[in-house]
Amino acid sequence: MQYVKLEDLVSYIDLEPIFYPADVQSRIYTPEIIRPGLQMAGYFDWFSFERVQVMGRAEMFYLSTLDEDIRKQRLDKFFSYPIPALIVANDMAIDELLIYYAKKYKRPVFKSNQKTDKLVNILINFLEEELAEETTLHGVCLEVYGVGVLIKGKSGIGKSETSLELINRGHRLVADDAVIIKKLDNNLKATCPELTQHLMEIRGIGILDIKHLFGVGSIRIEQFVELVIELEEWDQNKEYDRIGTDEDYTDILGIKIPTVVIPVRPGRNTSAIVEVAAKNYRQKLLGYNPLETYNRKFRGLYN
């Protein structure tokens, strides 16, 4: 099961530790956040204690209005659950009783100067991405005319060489060889392993640092994948699509991505074909399909 370490969350959001026991290794398994107002009111049925807890002005002011004995009971019961962490928003002063019971049960407590709603949004966005379903694919990912393109194919087919030519034409590299794909809602976000970031391997030359060779404008840290280009060796016995009637898709983490199969042989300018495939995809998004235009003209001639 995927999880996020609490220290990674704290580092990302820059939280101020109020009580952070060194011997407690909290793990977060869900991107959902809870504001425990009902729990402060005494209702613990269906308490989602496995979520990160966030208190804002409403919860803290309500807590301050409670009789001290009731406040002790509520906080004692609240912290008796194995919550991963409590974060108090709006840079509010924290009740000494709250800190006492956090220490009693060794539950981490932090403070943030962010407003409550903004803090919740930051937490959810970070946790959703970190806990997203993930896979690593062999290929090259680039941004071509604003379209996230994943180039796949057998080893040695020319993926990196084609990609290098595309970068030389002004397009941007996301990842070469190993492409990390994360599923976010109905989108696929591609990133590169830290070890190979901005690097590309070209047979006969070796490892190239694309950022240093072509400048910062030649790379992207991440990109949503919208189109798959499948490179394969030309097979003279295979019938290839000539007018665009075939609609192929590649299933990645349950999402179907439009796919163009490009047969590779000497004399074909593969990088130019990839560019045209990206442009064609974009114009379809804008509502223009050249095949439909062709079909209308064809029917007009023979009807």
247 annotated among ligand-binding-site residues:
no
Mean pLDDT in residue range 249-272: 89
State the virtual CA torsion across 149, 154, 156, 161 in degrees, nearest 10: -10
Active site residue 177: yes
Of 68, 88, 72, nearest in space to 80 by CA: 72
CA distance linking residue 112 with residue 122, whole number of Å: 12
42 annotated among ligand-binding-site residues:
no
Mean pLDDT in residue range 107-119: 95
160 annotated among ligand-binding-site residues:
yes
Annotated catalytic residue within 118, 138, 212, 265: 138
Contact 249, 258 (CB under 8 A): yes
Is residue 299 pLDDT above 80, yes or no? Answer: no
pLDDT interval class at 180 (50, 70, 90) = very high
pLDDT interval class at 82 (50, 70, 90) = very high
pLDDT at 284: 83
Question: What are the structural domains of the chain?
Answer: 4-130 (3.40.1390.20), 133-294 (3.40.50.300)
pLDDT interval class at 1 (50, 70, 90) = confident
CA distance linking residue 87 with residue 48, whole number of Å: 15
Active site residue 242: yes
Annotated catalytic residue within 107, 152, 177, 189: 177
159 annotated among ligand-binding-site residues:
yes
Is residue 294 pLDDT above 60, yes or no? Answer: no
Annotated catalytic residue within 203, 242, 296, 299: 242
CA distance linking residue 281 with residue 284, whole number of Å: 5
Annotated catalytic residue within 107, 152, 159, 182: 159
For 133-153, the pLDDT digits (tens) are 999 999 999 999 999 999 999
158 annotated among ligand-binding-site residues:
yes
pLDDT interval class at 266 (50, 70, 90) = confident
The single residue listed with the structure tokens 């979520």 is 51
pLDDT at 187: 93
Specify which of 181-195, 258-272, 273-287 reaches the highest per-range mean pLDDT.
Answer: 181-195
pLDDT at 113: 93
- The percentage of residues in the chain with a pLDDT greater than 70, rounded to a whole number, is 91
One-letter amino acid at 242 equals R
pLDDT at 247: 76
For 185-241, the pLDDT digits (tens) are 889 999 999 999 999 998 889 999 999 999 999 999 999 999 999 998 887 766 656
Mean pLDDT in residue range 46-51: 94
Active site residue 74: no
pLDDT at 248: 86
| Residues whose CB falls within 8 Å of the CB of residue 13, separated by 6 or more in sequence, listed in order | 112, 114, 119, 122, 123, 126
154 annotated among ligand-binding-site residues:
yes
CA distance linking residue 92 with residue 119, whole number of Å: 13
153 annotated among ligand-binding-site residues:
yes
32 annotated among ligand-binding-site residues:
no
Mean pLDDT of the chain: 90
Q: What does R_g of the chain's alpha carbons equal in angstroms?
A: 27
Predicted TM-score of the model (pTM): 0.78
pLDDT interval class at 23 (50, 70, 90) = confident
